[in-house]
C-alpha cells in the first residue's frame, strides 16, 4: 500500500467509524421500509408483449417492464414535540428480457428518486408544519389505474407544508424537475365545501438562463399552472373533479398527460386547459370500480397550432372472495393535433389474487389477456394496427 493510499485510509477511517457507531446506536425497529414494485412475463400474438400509452387507455395488461421503488425512512430525533426524519429512495427499471439484466444499459436503469430531511415542530410560528429540504416526491396527485400523475412537481427542492391558515392548510415549495427550470409551488388544501374538500394551487416556472443561453436567444418567459381539485366521498369511495389551466411551458402538458413539470417544447405563446373526473367507488358488496374521464385543449396563436383530446377509461372488479377477483379494464382515447387525428382503444380481462378484499389490497398476482387497437396508425410490430397480449403480472406496495 502506498503512502498516498495510507493517507486516504486514515482520512476515511474516522468517518466510517462514526457512521458505523451511529448505525449501531439506532433502534433498528424504528427504520421504516416502504416501496412499490411490478413485474411479470408476457407475450403477444406477434412476438413479445407490446405496450402503448397506458395513461390514455389504462395500464392493466399494458405494462411491459419490471419497475420498483425502494424507500427507507428513519426518525433520527424526537424530543419536546420536535422531530427530524431522513428519507431516501432508489428506483430501478428493466425490460423483463431475461434472467440477468444489468441496470446500466440504455433500456435498464437505476435512479435516485428521493433523499431528504423532514423536520416537524421546529417553526415557532407554525409548530404543526413540516420544514423540508432535499430531493422528494412532493404532494403528488395521480390516477392509479392509468399510472398518471397529473399534478407533480417532485425533484430537488425545499419548502414548508401544512401551515394552519384559516379554513385550510397552506404549503409552499421551491423545486426543480429537470434542467434549469425553477418551480415555485403554492397550495391551499382542506377547504370544506359541504361534504367535499377543495384544494387549489399555483405553480410558477421560469428557466434560469446562462449567459450563453441568453446570447442564443433562449426564451425564459414565466409559465403558470393553476389547479383546482374538488374531492367528494361517494359510494364508500371518492370522486375527484380537477381543473387545470396552463400558460407558456405549462400549456403543452394540458393537451396530453403531462403533470406539473414545465415542458420546453413550447415555452412561449401557448395556453391550455384540462378537465379530469375520476374516482374509485364501491357500488355493491362485491363490485368496486375505478374510472376516469379527461378532456384537454391546447392553443398556440403564435404558431397557429391547436389540438384537443379526450379519454375515458374504467376498471371494474368483481370479488369472488376476499382474496380472488376478476377485472375488466376498458379505455378509449382520441385526439386532434392540429389536424392530425389519433385514436386508441383497449380492453383487458384479468383474474387476480390479492392480499385482502379492498380495491387497494396488495400484493396482487394477475393473469391477463389484453387487446389494443390503434384506429389511425400502425404502431405495433410488423406494421400492425392492433395487438393481443397475454401474461402474468404481480404488483405490490408496502
What band does 29 get if pLDDT is binned at 50, 70 and 90?
very low
The CATH number of the domain where 377 resides is what? 2.40.170.10
What band does 3 get if pLDDT is binned at 50, 70 and 90?
low
Kindly tell me if the per-residue pLDDT of 159 is higher than 90: yes
Q: Is residue 389 part of a domain?
A: yes
Question: Which of the residue ranges 90-99, 103-112, 119-128, 222-231 would you say has the lowest mean pLDDT?
Answer: 103-112
Return d(Cα 367, Cα 383) in angstroms, integer.
27
pLDDT, tens digit, 9 for 90 and up, residues 349-393: 999 999 999 999 999 999 999 999 999 999 999 999 999 999 999
Kindly tell me if the per-residue pLDDT of 7 is higher than 50: no
pLDDT of residue 176: 94
Q: Is residue 52 part of a domain?
A: no
Q: Is residue 76 part of a domain?
A: no
What band does 13 get if pLDDT is binned at 50, 70 and 90?
low
Q: Is residue 39 part of a domain?
A: no
Q: Is residue 79 part of a domain?
A: no
Q: Is residue 153 part of a domain?
A: yes
- In sequence order, what are the residues at sequence separation of 6 or more whose Cβ sits closer than 8 angstroms to the Cβ of residue 6? none
Q: Is residue 314 part of a domain?
A: yes
User: Over the chain, what is the mean pLDDT?
Assistant: 91
| pLDDT, average across residues 62-87 | 97
Q: Would you say the pTM of this structure is higher than 0.85?
A: yes
Kindly tell me if the per-residue pLDDT of 148 is higher than 50: yes
Return d(Cα 320, Cα 45) in angstroms, integer.
30
pLDDT of residue 106: 80
Question: Which of the residue ranges 4-13, 101-110, 363-372 would you say has the lowest mean pLDDT?
Answer: 4-13
Kindly tell me if the per-residue pLDDT of 19 is higher than 80: no
Kindly tell me if the per-residue pLDDT of 4 is higher than 70: no
pLDDT of residue 17: 53
Partner residues linked to 62 by β-bridges:
none
Kindly tell me if the per-residue pLDDT of 167 is higher than 50: yes
- Domain containing 157 equals 127-397
pLDDT, tens digit, 9 for 90 and up, residues 265-316: 555 678 999 999 999 999 999 999 999 999 999 988 666 678 999 999 999 9
Q: How many domains does the chain have?
A: 1
Q: Is residue 184 part of a domain?
A: yes
CB 156 within 8 A of CB 265: no
For residue 363, whether the previous peptide bond is cis, meaning omega lies within 30 degrees of 0, is yes
Kindly tell me if the per-residue pLDDT of 258 is higher than 60: yes
CB 276 within 8 A of CB 256: no
What band does 24 get if pLDDT is binned at 50, 70 and 90?
very low
pLDDT, tens digit, 9 for 90 and up, residues 188-214: 999 999 999 999 999 999 888 888 878
pLDDT of residue 302: 66
Amino acid at each position: 500500500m502506498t503512502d498516498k493510499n495510507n493517507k486516504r485510509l486514515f482520512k476515511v477511517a474516522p468517518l466510517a467509524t462514526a457512521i458505523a457507531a451511529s448505525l449501531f446506536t439506532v433502534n433498528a425497529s424504528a427504520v421504516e421500509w416502504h416501496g412499490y414494485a411490478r413485474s411479470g412475463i408476457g407475450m403477444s400474438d406477434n412476438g413479445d408483449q407490446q405496450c402503448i400509452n397506458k395513461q390514455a387507455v389504462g395500464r392493466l395488461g399494458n405494462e411491459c417492464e419490471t419497475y420498483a421503488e425502494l424507500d427507507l425512512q428513519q426518525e433520527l430525533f424526537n424530543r419536546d414535540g420536535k422531530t427530524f426524519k431522513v428519507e431516501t429512495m432508489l428506483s430501478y427499471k428493466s425490460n423483463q428480457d431475461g434472467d440477468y439484466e444489468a441496470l446500466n444499459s440504455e433500456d435498464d436503469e437505476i435512479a435516485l428518486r428521493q433523499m431528504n430531511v423532514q423536520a416537524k415542530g421546529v417553526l415557532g410560528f407554525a409548530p404543526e408544519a413540516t420544514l423540508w429540504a432535499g430531493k422528494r416526491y412532493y404532494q403528488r396527485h395521480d390516477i392509479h389505474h392509468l399510472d398518471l400523475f397529473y399534478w407533480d412537481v417532485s425533484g430537488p427542492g425545499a419548502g414548508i407544508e401544512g401551515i394552519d391558515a384559516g379554513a385550510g392548510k397552506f404549503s409552499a415549495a421551491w423545486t426543480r424537475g429537470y434542467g434549469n427550470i425553477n418551480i415555485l409551488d403554492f397550495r391551499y388544501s382542506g377547504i370544506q365545501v359541504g361534504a367535499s374538500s377543495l384544494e387549489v394551487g399555483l405553480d410558477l416556472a421560469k428557466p434560469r438562463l446562462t449567459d450563453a443561453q441568453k446570447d442564443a436567444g433562449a426564451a425564459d418567459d414565466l409559465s403558470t399552472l393553476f389547479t383546482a381539485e374538488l374531492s367528494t366521498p361517494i359510494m364508500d369511495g371518492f370522486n375527484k373533479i380537477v381543473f387545470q389551466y396552463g400558460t407558456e411551458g405549462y400549456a403543452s402538458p394540458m393537451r396530453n398527460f403531462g403533470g406539473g413539470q414545465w415542458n420546453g417544447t413550447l415555452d412561449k405563446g401557448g395556453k391550455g386547459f384540462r378537465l379530469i373526473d375520476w374516482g374509485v367507488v364501491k357500488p355493491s358488496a362485491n363490485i368496486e370500480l375505478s374510472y376516469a374521464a379527461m378532456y384537454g385543449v391546447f392553443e398556440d396563436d403564435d404558431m397557429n397550432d391547436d389540438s384537443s383530446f379526450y379519454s375515458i377509461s374504467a376498471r371494474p372488479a368483481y370479488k369472488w372472495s376476499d382474496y380472488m377477483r376478476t377485472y375488466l379494464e376498458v379505455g378509449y382515447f382520441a385526439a386532434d393535433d392540429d389536424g392530425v387525428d389519433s385514436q386508441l382503444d383497449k380492453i383487458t380481462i384479468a383474474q387476480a389474487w390479492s392480499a385482502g378484499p379492498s380495491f387497494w389490497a396488495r400484493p396482487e398476482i394477475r393473469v391477463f389477456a389484453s387487446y389494443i387497437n390503434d384506429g389511425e396508425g400502425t404502431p405495433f410490430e410488423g406494421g400492425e394496427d392492433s395487438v393481443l397480449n397475454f401474461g402474468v403480472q404481480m404488483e405490490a406496495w408496502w
